[in-house]
Structure 1
Amino acid sequence: MNSNVQLVKTLLKYTFGLVPIVAGLDKFVNILTNWTQYISEGFAGLLPFEPTVFMMIVGIIEIIAGLLVLTKTKIGAYVVSGWLVAIALTLIFSWSYVDVAVRDIVMAIGAFSLAELSKNSYVRANN
């Protein structure tokens, strides 16, 4: 594989592997932010439990997604990309934190790009 392509793939792999793990772990301690602020009141009212419990479940999903990127990059990158799009759509539909939604869409494109690079991780030696 071309060394530049390999470098980009490696950077994306560790970015989309480690960031979801860190964000997922933070759902339990709220050092980076109070994650429940991103849940709309309408959605929070539909939950059968407290928003903090919901965010802990989200944290577990994010940790698993990050580990999946690190171990099965192609599949994990598609999962992270889809997860980020789902988060962005939720924020857009509630029309709150639209700036975060835009950032998540950009990150989803990056994760999708990693998945595509992983799918086509071969390059002929002549190129």
Structure 2
Amino acid sequence: MVTSNTSTLRTVFNLLKFTYVIVPIAAGLDKFTNILTHWEDYLNPSLETMLPFSPHIFMMVVGVIEIIAGVLVLVKPQIGGLIVAAWLTLIAITLITGGHYFDVAVRDLAMAIGAFSMSRLSAFAVKSY
């Protein structure tokens, strides 16, 4: 029975881990190409006025941060998961305060819970290997 639980734990952890590696890296790379969406549309207008550079440059900086976060989940999932969870929560707050894209904010909060859960599971999944 313990073997079955260990196997299930590894499977769930690995599924979450690779999700939180791939999704931030893909979203980060897309900040440079805008293939998936036009990312600048999601920028809170009040933040946009405070930027010392163009929204496009800001989104490219965001993309680099997201790529780094995805790589961090790969090499240090416990820490990386917390960073991704915090990042997604901040994005959701920004969307909510901007008054638009509430559906995306809810999705990001759900993803933040998943990233946090992956981080917590990593302590047990690593020990069970």
**How would you bin the TM-score normalised by the shorter chain?**
over 0.9
Q: Deviations over 1:65-112 (max 9, x none)?
A: 000001111110110000000000111111110100000000000000
**Unaligned runs of at least 5 residues, structure 1:** none
TM-score (norm 1): 0.93
Secondary structure, counterpart of 1:120 in structure 2: helix
Asked whether the equivalents of residues 89 and 108 of structure 2 are also in contact (C-alpha less than 8 Å), the reply is yes
**Structure number with higher helix proportion:** 2
Which whole-Å deviations, capped at 9, do the CAs of 1:34-76 have from their partners, x for residues lacking one?
Answer: 0000012221111110000000000000000000001111110
- Count of residues paired in the alignment: 123
- 1:22-101 correspondence runs (5 A): 22-101=26-105
Task: Please tell me the root mean square deviation across aligned C-alpha atoms, in Å.
Answer: 1.1
Among residues 106, 113, 127, which one is paired with 1:109 in the alignment?
113
